[in-house]
C-alpha cells in the first residue's frame, strides 16, 4: 500500500533554484491518493470535539469540505478580500514580498464555536495566523489546526505554538 508521500510530486528548483516544490495536485489527480489524504486528515480529528471546519482559499476548501462532509460538520470559507457577498471581517498579513488580506463572513463564527482549521500546507504560517485572529475576534475557539503537508524548515509551526497543530506529512526542508 502506498503512503501519502508517494502521491506528492516533488519538483526541484521551483519556483526558484534550491526550492523543492511539493505539488499537491498529484494527490488530487489520483483517486487513491485523494482518499488517503482525506482519510488521513479525518484521522487527525478523531478525538477532537468541535463544531466547524474552516479552510482558506483555495486548497483549504479542497481538503476541508470533504472532511466537513464526512464528519457532518459545517464548513466556513476564508477567502481573499472582495470575494464574499455579505458583511465580512478581514485580516491583513505579510507575505514574502508584500501583504495580503483575507476575509470571512462576520456571522460565520458565533461566540463559543469550536473551530478546526484545515489547509494543504504550512510554510511560514501567516495565512493561518490571520485566520485565527478573525475566528477569535468573533468569539470562536481554535481547537486544532491540521495541514496535509508541512515545510518544517520555514518554521510556521513556531508561529502557531499556542495551538494544537498537526500535519500528515512533514518535510524537513523548505
Enzyme catalytic residues: 59, 96
| Residue closest to 138 by CA, chosen among 117, 108, 118 | 108
C-alpha cell at 4: 501519502
Residues 20 and 39: their CA atoms lie apart, in Å, by: 25
Say what the alpha-carbon torsion angle 56, 60, 66, 72 is, to the nearest 10 degrees. -40
Amino acid at each position: 500500500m502506498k503512503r501519502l508521500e508517494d502521491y506528492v510530486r516533488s519538483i526541484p528548483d521551483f519556483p526558484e533554484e534550491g526550492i523543492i516544490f511539493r505539488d499537491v495536485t498529484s494527490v488530487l489527480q489520483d483517486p487513491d491518493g485523494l482518499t488517503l489524504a482525506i482519510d488521513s486528515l479525518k484521522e487527525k480529528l478523531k478525538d477532537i470535539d468541535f463544531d466547524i471546519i474552516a479552510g482558506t482559499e483555495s486548497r483549504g476548501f479542497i481538503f476541508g469540505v470533504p472532511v466537513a462532509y464526512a464528519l457532518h460538520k459545517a464548513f466556513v470559507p476564508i477567502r481573499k478580500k472582495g470575494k464574499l457577498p455579505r458583511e465580512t471581517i478581514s485580516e491583513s498579513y505579510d507575505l514574502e514580498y508584500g501583504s495580503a488580506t483575507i476575509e470571512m463572513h462576520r456571522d460565520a463564527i458565533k461566540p463559543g464555536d469550536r473551530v478546526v482549521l484545515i489547509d494543504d500546507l504550512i510554510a511560514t504560517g501567516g495565512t493561518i495566523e490571520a485566520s485565527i485572529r478573525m475566528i477569535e475576534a468573533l468569539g470562536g475557539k481554535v481547537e486544532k489546526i491540521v495541514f496535509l503537508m508541512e515545510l518544517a524548515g520555514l518554521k510556521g509551526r513556531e508561529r502557531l505554538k499556542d495551538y494544537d497543530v498537526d500535519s500528515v506529512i512533514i518535510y524537513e526542508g523548505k
